[in-house]
Protein backbone atom coordinates (compact mmCIF):
# COMPACT_ATOMS: atom_id res chain seq x y z
CA UNK A 1 0.00 0.00 0.00
CA UNK A 2 1.33 3.46 -0.94
CA UNK A 3 1.54 5.98 1.97
CA UNK A 4 -1.11 8.08 0.21
CA UNK A 5 -3.54 5.12 0.29
CA UNK A 6 -3.14 4.46 4.01
CA UNK A 7 -6.26 4.84 6.15
CA UNK A 8 -6.88 8.31 7.57
CA UNK A 9 -6.83 8.46 11.36
CA UNK A 10 -7.99 11.35 13.53
CA UNK A 11 -5.67 11.97 16.48
CA UNK A 12 -7.37 14.00 19.20
CA UNK A 13 -4.86 16.03 21.22
CA UNK A 14 -6.75 15.56 24.51
CA UNK A 15 -6.48 17.84 27.53
CA UNK A 16 -4.56 20.90 26.26
CA UNK A 17 -2.67 21.35 29.54
CA UNK A 18 -1.52 17.72 29.50
CA UNK A 19 1.09 15.84 27.50
CA UNK A 20 -1.22 14.98 24.56
CA UNK A 21 -0.30 17.92 22.29
CA UNK A 22 3.43 17.42 22.75
CA UNK A 23 3.22 13.67 22.12
CA UNK A 24 1.53 14.43 18.77
CA UNK A 25 4.34 16.89 18.03
CA UNK A 26 7.02 14.32 18.94
CA UNK A 27 5.59 11.62 16.67
CA UNK A 28 5.19 13.98 13.71
CA UNK A 29 8.67 15.45 14.15
CA UNK A 30 10.32 12.04 14.53
CA UNK A 31 8.62 10.72 11.39
CA UNK A 32 6.98 7.85 13.24
CA UNK A 33 3.45 8.70 12.13
CA UNK A 34 3.29 5.93 9.56
CA UNK A 35 -0.33 6.63 8.65
CA UNK A 36 -2.24 9.62 7.30
CA UNK A 37 -2.81 10.99 10.77
CA UNK A 38 -4.67 14.27 11.21
CA UNK A 39 -4.32 15.91 14.60
CA UNK A 40 -7.55 17.38 15.98
CA UNK A 41 -6.67 20.32 18.18
CA UNK A 42 -5.56 23.93 18.27
CA UNK A 43 -2.81 24.59 15.68
CA UNK A 44 -1.37 27.48 17.70
CA UNK A 45 -1.09 25.27 20.77
CA UNK A 46 0.68 22.58 18.73
CA UNK A 47 3.08 25.20 17.34
CA UNK A 48 3.74 26.50 20.85
CA UNK A 49 4.48 22.98 22.19
CA UNK A 50 6.71 22.27 19.17
CA UNK A 51 8.69 25.43 19.98
CA UNK A 52 8.92 24.47 23.68
CA UNK A 53 10.35 21.10 22.64
CA UNK A 54 12.57 22.70 19.97
CA UNK A 55 11.00 20.54 17.20
CA UNK A 56 10.67 21.81 13.61
CA UNK A 57 7.20 21.07 12.25
CA UNK A 58 5.13 21.94 9.21
CA UNK A 59 1.72 22.34 10.88
CA UNK A 60 -0.70 22.23 7.96
CA UNK A 61 -4.19 23.50 8.82
CA UNK A 62 -6.79 21.64 6.75
CA UNK A 63 -10.30 22.79 5.95
CA UNK A 64 -13.00 20.89 7.85
CA UNK A 65 -13.15 17.42 6.34
CA UNK A 66 -10.23 18.03 3.93
CA UNK A 67 -8.14 14.90 3.36
CA UNK A 68 -4.54 14.96 4.55
CA UNK A 69 -1.57 14.70 2.22
CA UNK A 70 0.73 11.64 2.26
CA UNK A 71 2.66 11.40 5.51
CA UNK A 72 6.22 12.64 5.73
CA UNK A 73 8.60 13.45 8.56
CA UNK A 74 7.94 16.87 10.05
CA UNK A 75 4.41 17.26 8.64
CA UNK A 76 1.46 17.50 11.01
CA UNK A 77 -1.91 18.06 9.30
CA UNK A 78 -4.56 19.50 11.65
CA UNK A 79 -8.33 19.70 11.68
CA UNK A 80 -8.48 22.84 13.81
CA UNK A 81 -10.46 23.20 17.03
CA UNK A 82 -9.74 26.48 18.78
CA UNK A 83 -8.93 26.65 22.48
CA UNK A 84 -11.57 28.47 24.52
CA UNK A 85 -8.87 30.10 26.69
CA UNK A 86 -5.06 30.23 26.60
CA UNK A 87 -3.62 26.99 27.99
CA UNK A 88 -0.54 26.70 30.17
CA UNK A 89 1.24 23.35 30.26
CA UNK A 90 0.45 21.55 33.51
CA UNK A 91 -2.33 23.92 34.60
CA UNK A 92 -5.92 22.74 34.19
CA UNK A 93 -8.62 25.24 33.24
CA UNK A 94 -12.32 24.35 33.18
CA UNK A 95 -12.71 26.93 30.39
CA UNK A 96 -11.08 24.44 27.99
CA UNK A 97 -13.24 21.42 28.84
CA UNK A 98 -15.56 22.19 25.91
CA UNK A 99 -12.53 22.45 23.63
CA UNK A 100 -11.39 18.96 24.65
CA UNK A 101 -14.87 17.52 24.08
CA UNK A 102 -15.18 19.31 20.75
CA UNK A 103 -11.99 17.62 19.51
CA UNK A 104 -13.70 14.31 20.26
CA UNK A 105 -16.88 15.37 18.46
CA UNK A 106 -14.89 16.38 15.37
CA UNK A 107 -13.12 13.00 15.35
CA UNK A 108 -16.39 11.10 15.87
CA UNK A 109 -17.97 12.99 13.00
CA UNK A 110 -14.99 12.21 10.73
CA UNK A 111 -15.23 8.51 11.58
CA UNK A 112 -19.00 8.27 11.26
CA UNK A 113 -18.97 10.06 7.90
CA UNK A 114 -16.19 7.81 6.59
CA UNK A 115 -13.62 10.63 6.26
CA UNK A 116 -11.50 8.78 8.82
CA UNK A 117 -11.22 5.03 9.36
CA UNK A 118 -10.64 5.46 13.04
CA UNK A 119 -9.47 7.65 15.86
CA UNK A 120 -6.55 7.64 18.24
CA UNK A 121 -7.02 9.66 21.40
CA UNK A 122 -4.52 11.44 23.60
CA UNK A 123 -5.57 11.60 27.26
CA UNK A 124 -8.37 13.72 28.63
CA UNK A 125 -8.63 14.85 32.24
CA UNK A 126 -11.92 13.49 33.54
CA UNK A 127 -11.88 15.68 36.66
CA UNK A 128 -11.66 19.01 34.85
CA UNK A 129 -14.45 18.01 32.45
CA UNK A 130 -16.66 17.12 35.43
CA UNK A 131 -15.66 20.33 37.26
CA UNK A 132 -16.71 22.26 34.15
CA UNK A 133 -20.23 20.91 34.58
CA UNK A 134 -20.35 17.89 32.27
CA UNK A 135 -22.01 15.71 34.88
CA UNK A 136 -21.77 12.01 34.23
CA UNK A 137 -18.67 12.19 32.02
CA UNK A 138 -16.61 9.13 32.89
CA UNK A 139 -14.19 8.86 29.98
CA UNK A 140 -13.83 8.48 26.21
CA UNK A 141 -15.19 4.93 26.28
CA UNK A 142 -18.65 5.78 27.55
CA UNK A 143 -18.76 9.09 25.62
CA UNK A 144 -18.09 7.20 22.37
CA UNK A 145 -20.68 4.56 23.22
CA UNK A 146 -23.34 7.22 23.74
CA UNK A 147 -22.32 9.25 20.69
CA UNK A 148 -22.55 6.15 18.50
CA UNK A 149 -25.79 4.92 20.07
CA UNK A 150 -24.50 1.41 20.73
CA UNK A 151 -25.70 -0.63 23.74
CA UNK A 152 -22.39 -1.90 24.98
CA UNK A 153 -18.72 -1.21 24.44
CA UNK A 154 -15.74 -2.89 26.08
CA UNK A 155 -12.57 -1.23 27.31
CA UNK A 156 -9.60 -3.44 26.60
CA UNK A 157 -5.91 -2.66 27.08
CA UNK A 158 -3.24 -4.68 25.31
CA UNK A 159 0.53 -4.74 25.54
CA UNK A 160 2.26 -4.27 22.21
CA UNK A 161 3.52 -7.85 22.11
CA UNK A 162 -0.11 -9.02 22.21
CA UNK A 163 -1.21 -6.86 19.30
CA UNK A 164 -0.37 -9.37 16.60
CA UNK A 165 -2.09 -12.50 17.82
CA UNK A 166 -2.31 -14.04 14.38
CA UNK A 167 1.47 -13.74 13.96
CA UNK A 168 3.00 -14.25 17.37
CA UNK A 169 0.46 -16.08 19.50
CA UNK A 170 0.34 -15.74 23.21
CA UNK A 171 3.64 -15.73 25.04
CA UNK A 172 2.77 -15.35 28.67
CA UNK A 173 4.67 -12.89 30.76
CA UNK A 174 4.55 -9.61 28.85
CA UNK A 175 1.88 -10.33 26.21
CA UNK A 176 -1.46 -9.47 27.68
CA UNK A 177 -4.92 -8.27 26.76
CA UNK A 178 -7.14 -7.21 29.63
CA UNK A 179 -10.79 -6.19 29.18
CA UNK A 180 -12.92 -4.71 31.94
CA UNK A 181 -16.42 -5.67 33.08
CA UNK A 182 -16.77 -2.30 34.85
CA UNK A 183 -14.79 0.85 34.15
CA UNK A 184 -14.93 4.22 35.90
CA UNK A 185 -17.12 3.98 38.96
CA UNK A 186 -16.53 3.95 42.71
CA UNK A 187 -15.37 0.58 44.04
CA UNK A 188 -18.39 0.57 46.36
CA UNK A 189 -20.70 0.34 43.30
CA UNK A 190 -18.82 -2.35 41.39
CA UNK A 191 -20.62 -5.47 42.65
CA UNK A 192 -24.06 -4.07 41.83
CA UNK A 193 -22.95 -3.07 38.34
CA UNK A 194 -22.02 -6.66 37.46
CA UNK A 195 -25.18 -8.38 36.30
CA UNK A 196 -25.55 -11.55 34.24
CA UNK A 197 -27.16 -9.79 31.23
CA UNK A 198 -24.42 -7.14 31.22
CA UNK A 199 -21.64 -9.74 31.45
CA UNK A 200 -23.21 -11.59 28.54
CA UNK A 201 -23.37 -8.44 26.41
CA UNK A 202 -19.76 -7.55 27.23
CA UNK A 203 -18.42 -11.02 26.52
CA UNK A 204 -20.26 -11.19 23.19
CA UNK A 205 -18.65 -7.87 22.16
CA UNK A 206 -15.22 -9.03 23.36
CA UNK A 207 -15.53 -12.36 21.56
CA UNK A 208 -16.74 -10.74 18.32
CA UNK A 209 -14.06 -8.03 18.21
CA UNK A 210 -11.19 -10.36 19.11
CA UNK A 211 -12.19 -12.19 15.97
CA UNK A 212 -13.07 -9.19 13.74
CA UNK A 213 -10.48 -6.65 14.84
CA UNK A 214 -7.60 -8.87 16.05
CA UNK A 215 -7.88 -11.85 13.72
CA UNK A 216 -8.25 -14.44 16.50
CA UNK A 217 -10.18 -17.26 14.89
CA UNK A 218 -11.72 -18.84 18.01
CA UNK A 219 -11.10 -16.55 20.98
CA UNK A 220 -10.52 -18.14 24.36
CA UNK A 221 -11.33 -15.74 27.18
CA UNK A 222 -10.47 -16.19 30.86
CA UNK A 223 -12.88 -14.52 33.28
CA UNK A 224 -11.83 -13.33 36.74
CA UNK A 225 -13.95 -13.85 39.81
CA UNK A 226 -14.98 -10.74 41.73
CA UNK A 227 -14.21 -11.93 45.26
CA UNK A 228 -11.01 -13.32 46.79
CA UNK A 229 -10.45 -16.90 45.59
CA UNK A 230 -13.42 -16.48 43.25
CA UNK A 231 -15.76 -16.45 46.24
CA UNK A 232 -14.45 -19.62 47.97
CA UNK A 233 -17.61 -21.56 47.10
CA UNK A 234 -19.87 -18.75 48.33
CA UNK A 235 -18.15 -18.23 51.70
CA UNK A 236 -16.37 -15.04 50.54
CA UNK A 237 -19.14 -13.58 48.39
CA UNK A 238 -21.92 -14.99 46.24
CA UNK A 239 -21.44 -13.02 42.95
CA UNK A 240 -19.60 -15.91 41.32
CA UNK A 241 -22.39 -18.42 42.10
CA UNK A 242 -25.33 -16.11 41.52
CA UNK A 243 -24.16 -13.97 38.61
CA UNK A 244 -20.90 -14.90 36.90
CA UNK A 245 -21.25 -18.68 36.59
CA UNK A 246 -24.81 -18.54 35.17
CA UNK A 247 -23.71 -15.87 32.66
CA UNK A 248 -20.75 -17.97 31.51
CA UNK A 249 -22.85 -21.13 31.24
CA UNK A 250 -25.39 -19.35 29.03
CA UNK A 251 -22.60 -18.09 26.75
CA UNK A 252 -20.88 -21.47 26.55
CA UNK A 253 -24.18 -22.82 25.25
CA UNK A 254 -23.85 -20.23 22.45
CA UNK A 255 -20.38 -21.57 21.61
CA UNK A 256 -18.10 -19.05 23.35
CA UNK A 257 -14.91 -20.54 24.79
CA UNK A 258 -14.65 -19.24 28.35
CA UNK A 259 -12.54 -20.21 31.36
CA UNK A 260 -13.62 -19.24 34.85
CA UNK A 261 -14.55 -17.56 36.98
CA UNK A 262 -10.97 -17.95 38.16
CA UNK A 263 -9.22 -16.43 41.20
CA UNK A 264 -7.70 -13.21 39.86
CA UNK A 265 -4.53 -13.43 41.95
CA UNK A 266 -3.24 -16.51 40.13
CA UNK A 267 -4.99 -16.07 36.79
CA UNK A 268 -2.40 -13.47 35.74
CA UNK A 269 0.49 -15.93 35.82
CA UNK A 270 2.16 -17.35 32.70
CA UNK A 271 0.89 -20.89 33.24
CA UNK A 272 -2.73 -19.81 33.54
CA UNK A 273 -2.47 -17.37 30.63
CA UNK A 274 -1.18 -20.06 28.27
CA UNK A 275 -3.59 -20.26 25.31
CA UNK A 276 -5.76 -17.39 26.57
CA UNK A 277 -6.53 -14.57 24.10
CA UNK A 278 -7.91 -12.07 26.62
CA UNK A 279 -8.74 -11.80 30.30
CA UNK A 280 -11.98 -10.18 31.47
CA UNK A 281 -11.32 -8.47 34.82
CA UNK A 282 -14.28 -7.47 36.95
CA UNK A 283 -13.06 -3.95 37.75
CA UNK A 284 -10.50 -1.32 36.74
CA UNK A 285 -7.85 -1.93 39.41
CA UNK A 286 -8.18 -5.71 39.32
CA UNK A 287 -6.93 -5.85 35.74
CA UNK A 288 -5.12 -2.67 34.78
CA UNK A 289 -2.29 -2.67 37.36
CA UNK A 290 -1.23 -6.07 36.02
CA UNK A 291 -1.40 -4.85 32.42
CA UNK A 292 0.46 -1.63 33.19
CA UNK A 293 3.11 -3.49 35.19
CA UNK A 294 3.63 -5.75 32.19
CA UNK A 295 3.71 -3.03 29.57
CA UNK A 296 3.25 0.62 30.66
CA UNK A 297 4.46 2.89 27.89
CA UNK A 298 4.14 0.20 25.21
CA UNK A 299 0.48 -0.72 25.57
CA UNK A 300 -2.70 0.67 24.06
CA UNK A 301 -6.31 1.06 25.09
CA UNK A 302 -8.94 -0.10 22.60
CA UNK A 303 -12.69 0.48 22.62
CA UNK A 304 -14.41 -2.62 21.28
CA UNK A 305 -17.97 -2.61 19.97
CA UNK A 306 -17.86 0.71 18.10
CA UNK A 307 -18.67 1.07 14.39
CA UNK A 308 -15.12 2.38 13.83
CA UNK A 309 -11.63 1.84 15.24
CA UNK A 310 -10.65 3.67 18.42
CA UNK A 311 -7.35 3.25 20.20
CA UNK A 312 -5.73 5.35 22.89
CA UNK A 313 -2.70 5.61 25.11
CA UNK A 314 -2.18 3.56 28.29
CA UNK A 315 -1.57 6.65 30.43
CA UNK A 316 -3.22 9.87 31.55
CA UNK A 317 -2.53 13.57 31.18
CA UNK A 318 0.71 13.49 33.24
CA UNK A 319 0.39 17.17 34.18
CA UNK A 320 3.70 16.87 36.07
CA UNK A 321 5.50 16.27 32.75
CA UNK A 322 3.54 18.56 30.44
CA UNK A 323 5.76 20.98 28.53
CA UNK A 324 8.99 19.35 29.68
CA UNK A 325 9.58 17.07 26.68
CA UNK A 326 10.22 14.19 29.11
CA UNK A 327 6.97 12.33 28.44
CA UNK A 328 7.44 8.99 26.70
CA UNK A 329 5.60 8.83 23.34
CA UNK A 330 5.86 5.00 23.24
CA UNK A 331 2.24 4.24 24.03
CA UNK A 332 0.92 6.77 21.48
CA UNK A 333 3.19 5.16 18.90
CA UNK A 334 1.69 1.73 19.73
CA UNK A 335 -1.86 3.16 19.67
CA UNK A 336 -1.33 4.63 16.17
CA UNK A 337 0.27 1.43 14.83
CA UNK A 338 -2.54 -0.66 16.24
CA UNK A 339 -5.23 1.63 14.80
CA UNK A 340 -3.62 1.38 11.35
CA UNK A 341 -3.51 -2.40 11.61
CA UNK A 342 -7.12 -2.63 12.80
CA UNK A 343 -8.36 -0.20 10.16
CA UNK A 344 -6.65 -2.19 7.42
CA UNK A 345 -8.20 -5.42 8.69
CA UNK A 346 -11.75 -4.01 8.94
N1 LIG B 1 -6.86 7.74 27.80
C2 LIG B 1 -7.18 8.67 28.69
O3 LIG B 1 -7.84 9.66 28.37
C4 LIG B 1 -6.69 8.54 30.13
C5 LIG B 1 -6.02 7.40 30.57
C6 LIG B 1 -5.61 7.33 31.89
C7 LIG B 1 -5.86 8.40 32.75
N8 LIG B 1 -6.53 9.48 32.27
C9 LIG B 1 -6.78 10.66 33.11
O10 LIG B 1 -5.54 11.35 33.30
C11 LIG B 1 -5.62 12.10 34.52
C12 LIG B 1 -4.38 11.85 35.34
O13 LIG B 1 -4.37 10.47 35.71
P14 LIG B 1 -3.30 9.76 36.62
O15 LIG B 1 -2.51 10.80 37.36
O16 LIG B 1 -3.96 8.69 37.35
O17 LIG B 1 -2.34 9.02 35.59
P18 LIG B 1 -1.18 9.53 34.61
O19 LIG B 1 -0.95 8.41 33.66
O20 LIG B 1 -1.49 10.85 34.03
O21 LIG B 1 0.10 9.71 35.53
C22 LIG B 1 0.57 8.68 36.38
C23 LIG B 1 2.11 8.70 36.43
O24 LIG B 1 2.61 8.20 35.20
C25 LIG B 1 3.49 9.17 34.60
N26 LIG B 1 3.26 9.14 33.14
C27 LIG B 1 2.06 9.16 32.53
N28 LIG B 1 2.22 9.18 31.21
C29 LIG B 1 3.56 9.17 30.98
C30 LIG B 1 4.37 9.18 29.79
N31 LIG B 1 3.83 9.21 28.56
N32 LIG B 1 5.71 9.17 29.94
C33 LIG B 1 6.26 9.13 31.16
N34 LIG B 1 5.55 9.12 32.32
C35 LIG B 1 4.22 9.14 32.22
C36 LIG B 1 3.09 10.51 35.20
O37 LIG B 1 4.15 11.43 35.14
C38 LIG B 1 2.70 10.10 36.61
O39 LIG B 1 3.85 10.00 37.41
C40 LIG B 1 -6.92 11.65 35.20
O41 LIG B 1 -7.92 12.62 34.94
C42 LIG B 1 -7.27 10.35 34.51
O43 LIG B 1 -8.65 10.07 34.53
C44 LIG B 1 -6.93 9.58 30.99
N1 LIG C 1 -9.00 3.37 32.32
C2 LIG C 1 -8.09 3.92 31.35
C3 LIG C 1 -6.69 3.81 31.85
O4 LIG C 1 -6.50 3.72 33.04
O5 LIG C 1 -5.76 3.87 31.06
C6 LIG C 1 -8.39 5.34 31.09
O7 LIG C 1 -8.77 6.06 32.19
C8 LIG C 1 -8.95 5.74 29.81
O9 LIG C 1 -10.31 5.70 29.72
P10 LIG C 1 -11.04 6.25 28.45
O11 LIG C 1 -10.34 5.67 27.24
O12 LIG C 1 -12.42 5.74 28.59
O13 LIG C 1 -10.96 7.72 28.53
User: Separation of 246 CA from ligand 2 center, angstroms?
Assistant: 29
User: Separation of 99 CA from ligand 1 center, angstroms?
Assistant: 19
Distance, in Å, from the CA atom of 169 to the CA atom of 106, rounded to the nearest integer, reads 36
Query: What pLDDT does 270 receive?
Result: 87
Q: Give yes or no for a contact between 331 and 26, defined as CB atoms under 8 angstroms apart.
A: no
User: What's the full length of the chain, in residues?
Assistant: 346
Tell me if domain 1-150+306-346 and domain 153-305 are identical in fold: yes
Phi-psi region of 173 (alpha: psi -120 to 50; beta: other; left: phi over 0): alpha
User: Cα–Cα distances in Å, from 160 out to 10, 18, 45, 239, 313?
Assistant: 21, 23, 30, 33, 11
**Which atom of ligand 1 lies nearest, measured to the CA of 301?**
1
Report phi then psi at 162, rounded to 5. -100, 5
Q: Which CATH number fits domain 153-305: 3.40.718.10, 2.60.40.10, 2.40.10.10, 3.40.50.720?
A: 3.40.718.10
Strand-pair category, 58-61 with 8-12: unpaired
Query: What pLDDT does 164 receive?
Result: 54
Choose among 181, 150, 138: nearest CA to 287: 181
Q: Give yes or no for a contact between 334 and 163, defined as CB atoms under 8 angstroms apart.
A: yes
Q: What is the pLDDT of residues 158-195, one digit of tens each?
A: 997 666 544 444 443 457 999 999 999 999 999 999 99
User: Separation of 165 CA from ligand 1 center, angstroms?
Assistant: 27
pLDDT in tens, the chain (346 residues): 445 567 899 999 999 999 999 999 999 998 876 678 999 999 999 999 999 999 999 999 999 889 999 888 999 999 999 999 999 999 999 999 999 999 999 999 999 999 999 999 999 999 999 999 999 999 999 999 999 999 999 999 999 766 654 444 444 345 799 999 999 999 999 999 999 999 999 999 999 999 999 889 999 999 999 999 999 999 999 999 999 999 999 999 999 999 999 999 999 998 899 899 999 999 999 999 999 998 899 999 999 999 999 999 999 999 999 999 999 999 999 999 999 989 988 6
Query: What pLDDT does 24 receive?
Result: 97
Phi-psi region of 36 (alpha: psi -120 to 50; beta: other; left: phi over 0): beta
Please tell me the residue having the least CA distance from ligand 2 atom 5: 314
Which CATH class for the 1-150+306-346 domain?
A: alpha beta
Query: What pLDDT does 65 receive?
Result: 80
Summarize the annotated binding site for a divalent metal cation as residue ranges: 184, 229, 284
**Which atom of ligand 2 lies nearest, measured to the CA of 141?**
12
Choose among 289, 293, 291, 265: nearest CA to 278: 291
User: Separation of 100 CA from ligand 1 center, angstroms?
Assistant: 16
- The domain locations on the chain are 1-150+306-346, 153-305
Residues with CB under 6 A from ligand 2: 124, 139-141, 155, 284, 288, 301, 312, 314
User: Cα–Cα distances in Å, from 107 out to 6, 41, 278, 337, 345?
Assistant: 17, 10, 28, 18, 20
Choose among 174, 223, 176: nearest CA to 203: 223
Amino acid sequence: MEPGDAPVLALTCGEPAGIGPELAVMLAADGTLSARVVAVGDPALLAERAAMLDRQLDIRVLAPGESPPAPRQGLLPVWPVALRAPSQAGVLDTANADHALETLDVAIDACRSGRAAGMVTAPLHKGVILDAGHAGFTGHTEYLRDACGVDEVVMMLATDSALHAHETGWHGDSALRVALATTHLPLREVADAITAPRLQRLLRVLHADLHRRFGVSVPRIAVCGLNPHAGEGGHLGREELDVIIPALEALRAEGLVLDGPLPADTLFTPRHLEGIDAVLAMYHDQGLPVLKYAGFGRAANITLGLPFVRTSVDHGTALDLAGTGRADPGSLRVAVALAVEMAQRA
